[in-house]
Structure 1
């Protein structure tokens, strides 16, 4: 058969068949209508202000120089424990580097870092804040803010500028409160009531 004959035969076979008027397809376009739930969520997102869970403040910060030493100890921290911290004799379980961060970035990082350390029962940490020696005004901005922020966190028991091998006055050792489980374990271990 030739092509013309094939076409003729096809048309004879299709006699009486009508083409579909509308294709039978699913409508997959997303609905442009906003439901009441959409509208409520939109209104809530616009009207609710984001609440910052971070209690660290940047108001009234005493500005420190590159070589100023940081030191803080809460009541109840034993002198021997503080001395060991000051001398860098506790193993460092975590560290945070704040170099090249803005004050706001550092504020967020410090709060998140301390919160994570508490969650994982980390007690002795090192925070690298830098000395600020390259600042034209000779002010250690991040260090100054850190000196204000750390005492604002009730779980920070003590801190002190690091030994030279860990960064000197450009870093700080921080001791965090023991978790309830760690305190219980100590009581059991040492037989205290």
Structure 2
């Protein structure tokens, strides 16, 4: 007489011994706990996030047209100063070229450049971001983010798209605050008059 499927199963499993309850719980604990390597990677990633001094936004930005003119000034900036910046009448002290850089590289480069210029008392910058006609997936992505980022940096007083001879709408004149050193120096010069 032929054995049924159930009988065959029971016959083949006859010598199998179930795991003790403690072993099963221990195996589940081992599976759910991260390895030392995973913990080390998590810790390193968290440190990187905690110590990144770059506060420039990576969130959504309103996209600009590639040929749009950029323009911004904080309250308190005199109209004459802004007009001179807009007309390119100030000497450009430093230039940053962001052409060919990825989003992450451009964000970091712009932040470091502006912070470094502020520390070294450099006041007028030219930032070359390009117009972004061929940028993917949308045109003018980097230009749009530069517009947003420059407004987020506290030491940026004003900025405006450059004259054609300096790159036109693919470049931006940027005016930084005076350092405390320069303010004091200026007061001393004008006090002697």
| Alignment TM-score, normalising by the size of structure 2 | 0.73
Report deviation, 1:110.
Answer: 0.4
Which residue in the other structure is 1:161 paired with? 161
CA deviation string 1:52-87 (max 9, x = no partner): 110001212010111001000001111000000001
Matches of 2:166 and 2:102 in 1, distance apart?
22
Matches of 2:58 and 2:133 in 1, distance apart?
21
Which residue in the other structure is 2:116 paired with? 116
Task: Determine if the alignment matches structure 1 residue 47 to structure 2 residue 50.
Answer: no
User: Alignment partner of 1:106: what SS?
Assistant: helix
Matches of 1:134 and 1:176 in 2, distance apart?
30
Larger Rg: 1
Which segments of 5 or more consecutive residues in structure 2 lack a partner in the other structure? 1-38
Question: Number of residues paired by the alignment?
Answer: 150
Matches of 1:158 and 1:140 in 2, distance apart?
21
Which segments of 5 or more consecutive residues in structure 1 lack a partner in the other structure? 1-42
Matches of 2:170 and 2:134 in 1, distance apart?
12
Matches of 2:191 and 2:134 in 1, distance apart?
53
Matches of 2:69 and 2:157 in 1, distance apart?
17
| Alignment TM-score, normalising by the size of structure 1 | 0.73
Matches of 1:60 and 1:117 in 2, distance apart?
27
Which residue in the other structure is 1:72 paired with? 72
CA deviation string 1:125-184 (max 9, x = no partner): 000000112247662010000011011010000000000000000000000000001001
- CA contact 1:98–1:106 (8 Å) conserved in 2: yes
CA deviation string 1:36-63 (max 9, x = no partner): xxxxxxx878625213110001212010
